[in-house]
Amino acid sequence: MPVAGLRSLEGKFDIITGGSRGIGAAIAQNLASKGCSLLLNYISTFSTERTLQLCEELTTISASPPQQSSKFSREPEITSPILPPTVTIDILINNAGIGGNIRLNDPVRGHINADFFQRIYTVNVLAPLLLTQVVAPYLPLDRSGRIVNLSSVSSSLGLESQSIYGGTKAAIEAMTRTWARELRDCATVNAINPGPCC
């Protein structure tokens, strides 16, 4: 059988946050084409229509209700609607994130304030931390699990106006290295750093 015809992820189960558009949707389409069953999680009701469209196009996909990542304070708020007690989660893609460019003492947007900081750090750092913590017990026991965190070139380039966003992505990379050690018996943990994309 040609390699292109293999469904190499048949029987695997994956959770993708922010999976209804952009990079997340492209990942979902690729994994579904390889036979992976997916659960797409999204944080905005504006993503509902696109997510349902993906569900129709790719029959191995199911969609979770919108999760308001900016309001996460306890683990059950993330996963209680989506994790059956006996499921094995083979792959977790921590893709969801929000941006926001503002300079120190920005002449147009004003000062960076605590609310702005908290909103972006909650979605980009706290939400993947809590979700990964909840998913960890569901990972396979043979080190075949995969966790992929979406970082950004902003984590290391020192781009102007990205004190907050770049900081969140640097935090993701630090957590990735920690989780790679803590979860080494169950999964590999890696981060990828895409540049600007449409």
Total domain count, the chain: 1
Examine the pLDDT at 173 and tell me if it is beyond 90: yes
The answer to whether 71 is a known catalytic residue is: no
CATH number reported for the structural domain that contains residue 57 in this entry: 3.40.50.720
What's the angle, vertex CA 83, arms to CA 7 and CA 186, rounded to 5? 65
Q: Which of 47, 64, 152, 154 is catalytic?
A: 152
pTM here is 0.84
Which residues constitute the domain of residue 73? Answer: 8-192
Domain for residue 2, yes or no? no
Examine the pLDDT at 53 and tell me if it is beyond 50: yes
- Look at residues 179, 86, 83, 63 and name the one whose alpha carbon lies nearest to residue 135: 83
Domain for residue 29, yes or no? yes
Q: Which of 12, 47, 64, 165 is catalytic?
A: 165
Q: Which of 20, 47, 151, 155 is catalytic?
A: 151
The answer to whether 154 is a known catalytic residue is: no
For the segment 83-114, what is each residue's pLDDT rounded down to a tens digit?
667 889 999 999 999 998 999 999 999 999 99
